[in-house]
Amino acid sequence: MLQRGHLWLIICTNFFLFKFSGCGLYSGVLNSPEITVVKYLNYIQLPFLFHMGNLIKVLTRDIDNNGGNFFLDFENAQPSQSETEVWEKVNQVLMEARVILDDLQAYRGAGEEIRQAIQSPGVEGVQEKAWSAVVPLVAKLKTFYEFSQKLESSLQCLLDVLTSSSSTPTQHLEQKQALARQFAHILHFTLRFDELKMTNPAIQNDFSYYRRTISRMRINNLSANAGNEVNNELANRMSLFYASATPMLKTLSDATSKFVSDNPDLPIENTTDCLSTMASVCKVMLETEYRSRFASEETVLFCLRVMVGVIILYDHVHPAGAFVKTSNIDMKGCIRVLKEQPPSSVEGLLNALRYTTKHLNDETTSKQIKNMLQPN
């Protein structure tokens, strides 16, 4: 069967044959669907060949990568029999994710107790009050950190399925919509968690106070009681986690890069094409009539978060990144879609592109893209 890419190549070639045959530039035959073009290349100027080749490359690339033009049901997709095993495993983690977000949103910190303890270092009662306030909060922070490891495992389970060589990225996402939906929910959770963490300085303040107090207790040979549930090794790992401005996003980026390095027999394109196709799907749904099929306006923000999340992952995993001219992601189009939304709902997402991507400030990034992402 004649492929769509071949058909367009034939149409383009026929156009050029018609346009230039009278100029003595071409003498050859065209046999569809196999193309035998340009018998006498020595008559054709190199610049002409270069521009014609680029045009055909662009046209065929656009068609081959038109996989984003389908509706991915982020609201209602249910698992097929073949998806059920992975879906159930990931679903348990996603159910816990809702609790994690609720707990993080309700996190108020022990700022006042810590302030009083610092101001009254010799008053034992004030010190005990601050310690009693901080210990349960650190237990929550430990839960958040341990959940990031579960999320990493779930992401790798989904990538195993969605990047396998049995189908193209488009086929995987279109035919395994329940798993694609879970992948989207992981990205949505990640960006939401990091948004909440960035606006809550109490998290790092509480943990810093906890570590200082533990060190002081160790020096004075005092028992830390309940505080011992976070040993020194775990505390170091938690410190690195919370030191990042976007800890969950860093976890996913590292996990995706690790997935690629742990699977050397799997072409890296399987992973990057999955990410770029997901970005394209989100962009297309947001700027076409597909958007009217969303039952809730919340799905619009969900879709925007997912689009930004896969762009950031792509930028960290692809050797050249998401912003280079040859990227499979239409970065200008994605940024335009973001900027068409109410500023209050997307400023955090634009900041994520500005400050958590890897290649934005590379020389290979066009000035136009850099200007589009300049803060107002």
- As a whole number of angstroms, the distance between CA 112 and CA 46 comes to 74
- As a whole number of angstroms, the distance between CA 37 and CA 28 comes to 6
| Domain contains 29 | yes
Are residues 11 and 88 both part of a single domain? no
| Domain contains 314 | yes
- As a whole number of angstroms, the distance between CA 314 and CA 323 comes to 10
- Give the pLDDT of residue 21: 42
pLDDT band for position 14 (cuts 50, 70, 90): very low
Average pLDDT, the chain: 81
How confident is the model over 317-335, as a mean pLDDT? Answer: 93
Are residues 56 and 136 both part of a single domain? no
- Give the pLDDT of residue 200: 94
- Give the pLDDT of residue 338: 95
Are residues 90 and 54 both part of a single domain? no
How confident is the model over 276-287, as a mean pLDDT? Answer: 92
How confident is the model over 129-150, as a mean pLDDT? Answer: 95
Cα angle, residue 188 at apex, residues 183 and 190 outer, rounded to 5°: 95
Give residue for tokens 């698992």.
79
How distant, in Å, are the alpha carbons of 62, 65, 282, 291 from that of 174? 19, 14, 13, 17
How confident is the model over 289-315, as a mean pLDDT? Answer: 90
**What range defines the domain where residue 20 resides?**
4-64
| Domain contains 77 | no
Amino acid of residue 363: E
Give the pLDDT confidence of 345-358 residue by residue, as tens digits.
898 899 989 998 99
Higher per-residue pLDDT: 15 or 213 = 213
Least confident span in 18-22, 256-260, 298-302: 18-22
- Give the pLDDT of residue 218: 75
Are residues 264 and 219 both part of a single domain? yes
pLDDT band for position 376 (cuts 50, 70, 90): confident
pLDDT exceeds 70 at position 56: no
Q: Say how many CA atoms lie within 13 Å of 375 toward its Cβ.
A: 7
| Domain contains 74 | no
In the chain, % of residues over pLDDT 90: 56
pLDDT exceeds 60 at position 109: yes
- Give the pLDDT of residue 238: 95
Give residue for tokens 């990057």.
272
pLDDT band for position 166 (cuts 50, 70, 90): confident
Least confident span in 6-15, 80-89, 140-149: 6-15
Are residues 53 and 169 both part of a single domain? no
Give the pLDDT confidence of 200-239 residue by residue, as tens digits.
999 999 999 999 988 887 776 665 554 557 888 899 999 9
Are residues 305 and 212 both part of a single domain? yes
| Domain contains 71 | no
Are residues 135 and 261 both part of a single domain? yes
Give residue for tokens 């606006």.
199
| Domain contains 290 | yes
Higher per-residue pLDDT: 57 or 86 = 86
- Give the pLDDT of residue 91: 96
pLDDT exceeds 80 at position 2: no
- Give the pLDDT of residue 312: 93
Are residues 164 and 102 both part of a single domain? yes
Are residues 156 and 36 both part of a single domain? no
Q: Determine contact, residues 252/155, Cβ cutoff 8 Å.
A: yes
- As a whole number of angstroms, the distance between CA 277 and CA 169 comes to 7
Q: Determine contact, residues 303/74, Cβ cutoff 8 Å.
A: yes
- The count of structural domains within the chain is 2
Are residues 368 and 280 both part of a single domain? yes
pLDDT exceeds 80 at position 374: yes
- Give the pLDDT of residue 68: 58
- Give the pLDDT of residue 40: 32
Amino acid of residue 245: A
b/e burial code for range 2-30 (CB count within 10 A of at least 16 → b): eeeebebbbeebeebbeeeeeeebbeeee
How distant, in Å, are the alpha carbons of 35, 100, 196, 318 from that of 248? 50, 12, 11, 19
- As a whole number of angstroms, the distance between CA 250 and CA 242 comes to 10
* 262: its two tokens: 């742990």
Are residues 56 and 88 both part of a single domain? no
| Domain contains 16 | yes
Q: Determine contact, residues 87/179, Cβ cutoff 8 Å.
A: yes
Q: Hey, what long-range contacts does 72-75 have (CB within 8 A, 24 or more apart)?
A: 72/173, 72/174, 72/177, 72/180, 72/181, 72/184, 72/281, 72/282, 72/285, 73/177, 73/181, 74/181, 74/184, 74/294, 74/299, 74/302, 74/303, 74/306, 75/294, 75/295, 75/296, 75/299
| Domain contains 158 | yes
pLDDT exceeds 70 at position 31: no
Are residues 17 and 126 both part of a single domain? no
Pick from 305, 307, 246, 319: which is nearest to 275 by CA? Answer: 307
b/e burial code for range 181-215 (CB count within 10 A of at least 16 → b): bbbbbbbbbbbbbbbebbebeebebbbebbbebbe
Task: Please state the pTM of the whole predicted model.
Answer: 0.77
